[in-house]
Amino acid sequence: MRYESIAIHGGKSEDSGKDAVNYPIYLSSTFAQPSLDQFQEFAYSRGSNPTRSNVEKLAADLEGAKYGLALASGMAATSLVFGLLKQGDKVLINNNVYGGTWRYVSNIFADHGIEYEVVNDFNHYNFNDADSNVKMIFIETPSNPLLEITDIRKVSKEARKRNIVTVVDNTFLTSYFQKPLDLGADIVVYSATKYYAGHSDILAGLVLLNDDEHFTKLKFLQNTYGGILSPIDSFLLTRGIKTLSLRLAKHQKNALLVAQYFEKHPAVKDVYYPGLKSHKNHDIQRSQATGDGGVLSIRLNDGWDSKKFIANLKIFDLAVSLGGVESLICHPASMTHESYALELQEKIGIDSKLLRLAIGVEHEEDILEDISNALVKAKI
């Protein structure tokens, strides 16, 4: 089956025997076992729950992965993967990643004797310079919030030569637009809160992979940490996935129109969106992804006031997160990436004028009219 069909019909084929078209919600903390000589797949819901198992298989089916793990949030998924590291290991990360990921790396790694190094541009990184204790590369592409693109094939190839695990945060694109495992990555992580769920009503995380050894360790950690996705949220995530392809197509259509509008508007100094031919890594994006997603960032020129622009938007809510059906705008320096030290923000370009827009699925003319009217009122 093709992607859209898998999204609707993938996952576990068994249910409670009632032939429900939707997989049931199993609201049980524990499951009776037939006998001491026969234990079934499900025993205690922290370890495994049928509804969660269903969405894990569904996400794996969509990714073309052997294994899937569903967690209570995107950060639970990222933290789970970092659990593969041990004292003395080192991680390479790209220079702008989700603020929560940076908060973990910059604060918690040291407590566990783990090192990290920020790489400004993996596309031109000399892997011969990597320290011998580098055991993991964690990249986010497109990155948050500057929409930088990393060549997943190149990084994964170089990492594999050195027995380094490559992890890709694919939240902005999902497996609908990009499949990092097919490009050579070892593990994919998602904040499924975003496009997979799609309605800003649950928190969820996903980890997808093929390696048996890594899965065994991660499954153990999932059960041990206990940050699992609840049955109800697993059901809602499954429901969101059924319309993922429809929503993402509309998100992307709207985002490209908005990016093209900004690119020509005198109020806008910089536009960051990989779907634009002017994007510095547009060719890399075209080589590894079939789409560009619904997120873009801009920087207004000096003659326009960012606060007034935000205040006069009617369709866009000022809020963190992305991937829901509604359009959102946020100020990364103070809202999503406040955990970055000021000097690091300035170094990588997350300044006070940078705005990130998550384009929703409203009518494109309404979105463009809202932006146009707000820019008029933001003129100084």
pLDDT tens for each residue of the chain, 380 residues long: 999 999 999 997 766 556 788 999 999 999 999 999 888 889 999 999 999 999 999 999 999 999 999 999 999 999 999 999 999 999 999 988 898 999 999 999 999 999 999 999 999 999 999 999 999 999 999 999 999 999 999 999 999 999 999 999 999 999 999 999 999 999 999 999 999 999 999 999 999 999 999 999 999 999 999 999 999 999 999 999 999 999 999 999 999 999 999 999 999 999 999 999 999 999 999 999 999 999 999 999 999 999 999 999 999 999 999 999 999 999 988 887 777 777 777 777 788 889 999 999 999 999 999 999 999 999 99
279 shares its domain with 173:
no
Tell me, yes or no, if 46 is annotated catalytic.
Answer: yes
DSSP for 256-317, please give it. Answer: HHHHHHHHH-TTEEEEE-TTSTTSTTHHHHHHH-S---SEEEEEE-TTB-HHHHHHT-SSSE
* Structure tokens given for 256: 């490209």
Residue 242 bears catalytic tag:
no
Both tokens of residue 369?
């009219």
Catalytic residue among 90, 179, 194, 250: 194
Taking the C-alpha atoms of residue 26 and residue 229, their distance in angstroms, rounded to an integer, is 12
Amino acid found at 349: G
Same domain, 297 and 268: yes
The C-alpha R_g of the chain, in whole angstroms, comes to 21
Same-domain check for residues 118 and 190: yes
**Active-site entry in 46, 103, 160, 286:** 46
Domain around 352: 244-378
Q: Is residue 185 domain-shared with residue 262, that is, in the same domain?
A: no
From residue 293, alpha-carbon distances to 173, 335, 347 in Å are: 5, 21, 26
If one counts the domains in the chain, the total is 2
Same domain, yes or no: 210 and 268: no
pTM for the full predicted model: 0.95
CA-CA distances (angstroms) from residue 311 to 149, 202, 316, 351, 371? Answer: 31, 27, 10, 19, 11
Q: What is the pLDDT of residue 344?
A: 76
Handedness of CA 339, 342, 344, 347 (dihedral sign): positive
Q: What is the domain-level CATH number for residue 103?
A: 3.40.640.10
Last residue of a domain, one of 212, 242, 272: 242
Residue type, 249: A
Using the 3D structure, point to which of 175, 210, 242 is the last residue of a domain. 242
Same domain for 181 and 86?
yes
- 70 and 216 assigned to the same domain: yes
Residues 188 and 333 in one domain: no
Distance CA 12, CA 27 (A): 17
- Domain identity same for 14 and 163: yes
Q: Does 112 lie in the same domain as 215?
A: yes
Contact 298, 268 (CB under 8 A): yes
Please tell me the distance from the alpha carbon of residue 144 to that of residue 358, in angstroms, as a whole number. 11
Catalytic-role residue among 61, 151, 169, 233: 169
For residues 158 and 307, membership in a common domain is answered with no
Write down the catalytic residue from 23, 26, 98, 104: 98
Do 292 and 272 lie in a common domain? yes
CATH number of the domain bearing residue 327 = 3.90.1150.10
Domain stop point among 192, 223, 242 = 242
